[in-house]
Amino acid sequence: MSARSDRQIQVALGTRSYDIHIGAGLLETAGTYIAPLLFRPRTVIVTDETVATLHLTRLQEGLAAAGIAVDSVILPPGEATKSFPQLEHLCTALLDHGVERQDMVIALGGGVIGDLTGFAAAILRRGIDFIQIPTTLLAQVDSSVGGKTGINTRQGKNLVGAFHQPRLVLADLSILRTLPRRELLGGYAEVVKYAVLGDSDFFEWLEAHGAEVRAGDSAALAHAVEISCRMKASVVAADEREGGGRALLNLGHTFGHALEAATGFSDRLSHGEAVAVGMGLALDLSERLGHAPPGTAARLRAHLKAAGLPAHPDEIPGPPLAVPELLHHMRQDKKARQGTLVFILVRGMGEAFIADDVPPAEIEAVLSGAALQDTVS
Ligand SMILES: NC(=O)c1ccc[n+]([C@@H]2O[C@H](COP(=O)([O-])OP(=O)(O)OC[C@H]3O[C@@H](n4cnc5c(N)ncnc54)[C@H](O)[C@@H]3O)[C@@H](O)[C@H]2O)c1
Ligand SMILES: [Zn+2]
């Protein structure tokens, strides 16, 4: 696909606005997008070992073709890389490569590399520019857009970070061909999230064409990534720093984070799987409180099941999870405000809203109704 046949979305943030390009083969043509943004024709690519083996050379060649000199920093793959030690390592490596205030660095990877590189860019020389080249479906539809960057500490995920918007996002759909199935499905759960929270037509489209998306069909993937990015871009443009509406993007995440915590952030349950199960519970809660018509949760679950995602807590492998423990994790959630839990609920498919007045007994009832254990084992 040529550089001109891609799909383009603008994230409208005044002087910090930027474009998202979505298309197949963008690594090869990356230089034509990036060269005009550079102060001088050089850059540093930050990536992880897995992505480096699979895709780094193509990006290096794509940049070299536009006369850009390239260095690279290759970090270990995995969530543990979003850490203070790796942040220090990355910042000093970038300085060793001679990165100056007006230079730009490139994050080539999933959300881990994007979040860490974005944060390093936010603080290096008091802030340099960066570009996102997301390589997972989750990163293409979610983490690469919106400017949240950061690392984890022993107290929890994403507790140290900064808002720092990228200057450009290049979502190359061909990169997703090498993505392990489980990673692809995790990203698909976030795609479904956009449909459920704001676009019932898109949900219908996913019911008809989701299998093509998950099979890697270029046209279907391009549509799913585009619609998802459009929604994220518009939510972020309206509420960059999550004073209000951006919280809608947390649909399924209050339950999801509690499920991830209760399973020890382990292989038992990935983030996307937790969001899938969490969305089902959020829709149960919406129905229980009389906000959504009966059958809304069942329709979502049927789709998640067809996609090969868990839709119900009892589909999480291992011993059943305990309701009190999940409630405890929910109260720890960083979105809890003065003890009140904030939930994203729906009035129907595609109509999410923020609810901060959900009685704890109703949450407990939904969890108990989900056939979890009522007591801590
Ligand atoms: N900033 C935000 O707004 C935001 C939003 C959502 C999630 N996140 C963060 O994103 C992170 C999760 O991102 P992720 O799911 O992309 O995980 P990830 O970056 O760990 O990537 C998942 C795995 O896939 C590998 N990989 C990446 N691209 C590949 C490819 N094309 N082919 C083969 N393997 C590939 C990686 O090496 C890694 O092992 C979390 O840290 C989360 O907190 C941030
Ligand atoms: Zn998520």
pLDDT tens for 191-237 read: 999 999 999 999 999 999 999 999 999 999 999 999 999 999 999 99
Q: What percent of the chain has pLDDT over 70?
A: 95
Ligand 1 centre from 23 Cα, in Å? 19
Ligand 1 centre from 336 Cα, in Å? 25
Residue to probe by mutation, ligand 1, list 143, 182, 267, most atoms within 8 Å of CB: 143
Q: Is the CB of 250 under 6 A from ligand 1?
A: no
Ligand 2 centre from 66 Cα, in Å? 35
Measured distance CA(249)–CA(220) in Å, rounded = 22
* Global confidence as pTM: 0.96
Of all protein residues, whose CA lies closest to atom 7 belonging to ligand 1?
Answer: 143
What atom of ligand 1 comes closest to residue 49's alpha carbon? Answer: 37
The answer to whether the CB of 107 falls within 8 A of the CB of 113 is yes
Ligand 1 centre from 376 Cα, in Å? 32
Q: Is the CB of 139 under 6 A from ligand 1?
A: yes
Q: What is the pLDDT of residues 317-353, one digit of tens each?
A: 999 999 999 999 988 876 666 667 889 999 999 999 9
Q: Which of 331, 337, 334 is nearest to 363 (CA)?
A: 331
The answer to whether the CB of 121 falls within 8 A of the CB of 127 is yes
Q: Which of 283, 300, 303, 276 is nearest to 347 (CA)?
A: 283
Q: Is the CB of 58 under 6 A from ligand 1?
A: no
Q: What percent of the chain has pLDDT over 90?
A: 90
- Please report, to the nearest 10 degrees, the dihedral formed by the alpha carbons of residues 113, 119, 123, 128 taken in order: 70
Those residues with Cβ within 8 angstroms of residue 94's Cβ, 6 or more apart along the chain or in another chain? 44, 46, 73, 105, 120, 124
Q: Would you state the pLDDT for residue 377?
A: 42
Neighbours of 245 (CB within 10 A): 15
Q: Would you state the pLDDT for residue 100?
A: 98
Of all protein residues, whose CA lies closest to atom 41 belonging to ligand 1?
Answer: 112
Of all protein residues, whose CA lies closest to atom 13 belonging to ligand 1?
Answer: 111
Q: Is the CB of 282 under 6 A from ligand 1?
A: no
Q: Is the CB of 147 under 6 A from ligand 1?
A: no
Q: What is the pLDDT of residues 227-281, one digit of tens each?
A: 999 999 999 999 999 989 999 999 999 999 999 999 999 999 999 999 999 999 9
Q: Is the CB of 166 under 6 A from ligand 1?
A: no
Q: Is the CB of 178 under 6 A from ligand 1?
A: yes
Catalytic residue numbers read 126, 148, 190, 232, 242, 246, 250, 253, 257, 271
Ligand 2 centre from 163 Cα, in Å? 17
Q: Is the CB of 117 under 6 A from ligand 1?
A: no
What atom of ligand 1 comes closest to residue 115's alpha carbon? Answer: 1
What are the backbone dihedrals phi and psi of residue 156, each rounded to the nearest 5 degrees, phi first? 160, 180
The conformation of residue 54, written as its DSSP 8-state character, comes to I
Ligand 1 centre from 293 Cα, in Å? 35
E-strand stretches of the chain: 7-11, 18-23, 42-48, 69-75, 104-109, 129-134, 148-153, 156-163, 168-172, 343-346, 352-355
Q: Would you state the pLDDT for residue 376?
A: 47
